[in-house]
Structure 1
């Protein structure tokens, strides 16, 4: 996914569909995924900025968690080819999960929730496997 381009939320919304590059966005899942007829899931996400310096519970590297901003930049929808292990169980992709979506804007705009990305690949962190910057008061950098 090294070919992903850093585009802002507004740049993606302004770029014509045929010129859309692959982007990589972090988002917190706002509603349970909805299965689509094509096997993908439609997922509503709150776009968050990734913090390069992750927060840690102590000095050990094992206590560090992927960290994203606690503030929403905007909302977007991702059409995700969900893996079987993300469909059920305690660690399923669900409300509150963090997802890094690599995809291309389809040109479709969800009037309430922003651009729609057709995901090529994603990474998933269940709740409690990542933190937001709101945890900075109780965790180390």
Structure 2
């Protein structure tokens, strides 16, 4: 596991601590945003989620759920469709692979063991074990 993954997980653990821990968490989050050019909220529980290429350019909605064992490449966006209802965020299953520059937006459910190709735009649900590519993402195998 690279240094970036350790920083992200420590940030998440600090968030669950006391007042001093939350202040340190916010400082760590600002440093990560500045150095890695990504926006990964410290309130997000991302245990055993791996960011390849040090997570450069990754943006994640604070209300998203990401399952354990998921690999996320650089430039990925996981968010909601509109700014007014920010609570409808993607739910990503366990052991998924999300390719570089992929975008997952809206209230979608991604099953377990799913592969999402590089540059794909996911706007609808994807079942377990499927592979999705394209704009908008289409399932090419199950």
Higher relative CO (Cα under 8 Å, sequence separation at least 6) belongs to 1
More strand by percentage: 1
Task: Provide TM-score, normalisation by structure 2.
Answer: 0.26
More helix by percentage: 2
